[in-house]
Chain A
Amino acid sequence: MKIHEYQANEIFKSFGIPVPDGKVATTPEQAEKIANELDGPLVVKAQVHAGGRGKAGGVKLVKTPEEAKDAASKILSMDIKGLIVNKVLVTKALDIKDEAYIGFIVDRRSKKPLVMVSASGGIDIEEVARETPEKIHRFIIDPLYGLFPHQASELAFKLYDDIKLVRKAADIILKLYKAFIAVDASLAEINPFVVTSDGETWTSDAKINIDDNALARHHDIEKMRDSTEAEKKELDAKSKGLSYIKLNGKIGCVVNGAGLAMATMDLIKKYGSEPANFLDIGGSSSPLKVVNALNILISDKNVKSIFFNIFGGITRCDDVANGIVEALSKLNIDLPIVIRLTGTNEEKAKEILSRTDLITVSSMAEGARKSIEIAGK
C-alpha cells in the first residue's frame, strides 16, 4: 500500500527523523492559513500516489500566504499521471546546500533488506542509477542481526567528508532502518536528504510503501489508505474474494489463478484484441463468487464478450458451471459468454452447461479466438 508524503513524514517524526514543519490542506484557503502559521519561504506539494510530481508542476516554491493560496488552487484538482490531486502539503522551504539519497528496500535477489545511499540525490536519482551505477552505494543487511552502527557509518562516509555530517547521517540511516522494520515497509526512502547552509540535515521528501501482507498488524497505517476510484473498485472486489483490475479492452476475462489470468490476457492481445480486465476468482470458487465476478464485468460498458478460462484443481469445474447458470438467472446478461472448463469435475460441468445455450470450447486458444470473434470490431 502506498501512503502520502505527509503521512510518511508523521511516521518519520515518530522515529526521530528530522522533517520540516508542515501541514496538509484540501482547499486554497486552508493552505493560506497554514502559510500564515508557518511564516517564511514555503513549498506547496501535491499529495498524490505518483512519482515525478515536481516535473509535472505539482511542487511550487512560494514566499507569502497569498502565493501559497494561489499555488494550492493551481495544484489542487491537477491531474498527475491520471490521478487527481485532492491534498497539498504546505511545508517550510529549505535552504538547500547538498542533496543526498537514502533508501531501504527488500531485495528479492539476496532475500534480505538492502540499503542504498548516494551523494547524488534529487529528482534524477533513477538516471544516476542508470548512467553511473558506481555512485549508488549498496549494503545488504543480515535480517537476523539488523544494521550495526559501524555499518551505517561506513555508508555515511560515502556521503560526506565532514565528520559532523557523517554522524548525523549515520544516525538517520539507523533510525530509518528501525522505521522500515517497525512498519513492515517494502520501501522507505528519503530523496533528497538535505544539508542546509547552517549545516543541519533534513528529510525533504519521505516515501514509504507498506507490505500489504502485513497490514493486518498495522491498523494505524491501514487507516492512512487513500484510494482512487479505480482502487476502490479493486478493494470492493477483494472483499468478495476476487482479484480485479480494470483495463481498457473489450474482452472480459474470468480466470482462476493470477498466472493463468495474465496468460489469458496476453493471448487475447496476441490474437489481435485487448482484455477488459484482470480477474482472478481464486481457488475453491463457490457459485456466489462467479455471480459477483459477472456483476463486476457487466458494469464495465466496454465489455463486448466474456471469456471464462478455468483450469480446475482446487477449483471445481461444476461449481463454476453452477455459478454461471445461477448468475444468468439472477442478472440480466445479454453479452455472449465463451466457456472453457478443464480439470476437476469437468464432465459434471459439461453436463450442466449442455442444458444452456452457452458457447463451450475445449482449449484456452480456441476460447480466446472465439470470444474475440463474437465481440466483433
Chain B
Amino acid sequence: MSILIDESTKVLVQGITGRDGSFHTKKMLEYGTQIVSGVTPGKGGHKIEGVPVFDTVKEAVEKTGADTSILFVPAKFAVDALYEACDAGIKLIIAISEGIPVLDMVRIVAFLNDRGTSLIGPNSPGIISPGKSKVGILPGQIFKQGSIGVISRSGTLTYEVVHHITNAGLGESTCMGIGGDPIIGLKFIDCLELFKKDKETEGVVLVGEIGGTDEEESAAYIKERFTKPVVAFIAGLTAPPGKRMGHAGAIASRGTGTAAEKIRAFESAGIPVAGEPEDIVKLLKSV
C-alpha cells in the first residue's frame, strides 16, 4: 500500500503543452506513472509524449477516465483550472503552480471541500509512492520503495531528507510536499490520518518550517491519536522574525510560528526533533 497515489492512479496533466508541463510529463512517464491525458485549451487533438491532449478537463475525464490531475498552469490561469478540475469530477489535484493569490485559494479550498475533492499544494513539488507512481517534479532517482512516510512543506529540503532515508536503506512508502503557501489543501494532520491507516508505512518524518501553526497542531494530534513513530525536523531557527523567506507561508510574526516554538511543541509531545537532516535516520532507528 501507500497513500493517495499508486500504480492504478490515472493522471491528467493540466498545462501539458507548456515548458514545465511537457518536460515533467516525460519524466513522470519514464518513472512509470500512468498518464492518460493532458489539457491545454486550444491544443485539443495534439499529442505530447504520446499522451492525448484535450481542450477541456471534462472531455479528458470522459474519454480517458482520469481521476487525478497535476497542475502546471501559470498562477493567472491556475485559479479557474482548479475549479475546472473539480467540476469535472477529479478527486485529487496536485498544484505545482505558485503565486496564486491567497484569497483566491481561500475560496477554492472551500469549493473543493464542499465537493469532496482533495488538493495538494499549491506551490508543491508533488507526491511520489516510490516504485509505483510519481505525480510531481520530485527527482525520481533519489527515492526507494520502503516503509517511511514523508510529509514536508518544502521542496529541495525534502530531497535532502529523503536522500538520507534512502541511503540508510529504509526507503519511503509515500513522500509528499504539501506546499509552502499560507492556504493549502491537505495539511500535516490530513496526511497523518492517511499514513495511520496505511499498512506499508511504519514511521513518519515530518519536515516543517517557520510560519503558521500547522506543526503545533500536528504535535498535539500525534500525541493523542497517532501510534506510529514520528520524527520531526524544522527549518528556520536563524530566520529573522517577520521576514519573508521566499515561501509565502514562511512568515514568523506576532509571537507565533517561530521554529523554536515548533520544536518545543514537538518535544513536549514526546516527538524527537532532529538537529540537522543527517540525524533524522539515527532518530528513526531509535524510535
Contacts and interface: CB of A to CB of B under 8 A. Distances in A.
Interface stretch (A28-36, A92-100, A108-116, A158-166): A108-116
Contact of B278 (A111, A343, A363): A363
Interface in B81-106: 99-106
A65 interface: no
A274 B104 CA distance: 38
Which secondary structure dominates where chain A touches chain B?
Answer: mixed
Contacts of A212: 244, 248
Nearest to A109: B213
Interface stretch (B43-51, B53-61, B62-70, B158-166): B158-166
Given A109-B213, A262-B236, A263-B277, A181 B183 contact: no
A184 B183 CA distance: 14
A280 interface: yes
- 3 A-B pairs with the lowest CB-CB distances in the bound complex, closest first: A259-B154, A257-B156, A258-B246
B229 to A, nearest CB: 22
A213 B248 contact: yes
Interface in A94-143: 106, 108-109, 111-113, 126, 142-143
A344 interface: yes
Nearest to B207: A259
B238 A266 contact: yes
Given A258-B247, A269-B238, A108 B156 contact: no
A211 B183 CA distance: 12
B250 interface: yes
B213 A111 contact: no
Given A108-B182, A265-B239, A214 B103 contact: yes
Contacts of B207: 259
B112 to A, nearest CB: 10
B106 A106 contact: yes
A257 B154 contact: yes
Contact of B107 (A144, A255, A269, A364): A144
Nearest to A312: B139
A245 B235 contact: no
Interface residues of B, number: 62
Contact of A364 (B75, B214, B277): B277
Contacts of B156: 255-257, 259-260, 311, 313, 315
A9 interface: no
B155 A259 contact: yes
Contacts, number: 164
A256 to B, nearest CB: 6
Given A106-B102, A143-B103, A245 B243 contact: yes
A83 interface: no
Interface string A253-279: 001111111110111111000110010
A225 to B, nearest CB: 14
B160 A260 contact: yes
B139 A343 contact: yes
Given A112-B110, A258-B180, A266 B235 contact: yes
A365 B246 contact: no
- Most interface-central of A212, A216, A278 (chain B CB within 10 A): A278
B106 A262 contact: no
Interface in A201-218: 211-214, 216-217
A116 to B, nearest CB: 12
B31 interface: no
Contacts of B247: 258-259
Interface in B235-281: 235-240, 243-250, 254-255, 259, 275-278
B245 A278 contact: yes
B246 A211 contact: no
A278 B243 CA distance: 11
Contacts of A256: 156
Interface in B4-24: none
B159 A269 contact: no
Given A213-B102, A214-B101, A262-B245, A311 B236 contact: no
B191 interface: no
Given A144-B110, A213-B75, A111 B237 contact: no
Contact of A343 (B110, B159, B259): B159
Given A213-B248, A260-B154, A313 B106 contact: no
B110 A142 contact: yes
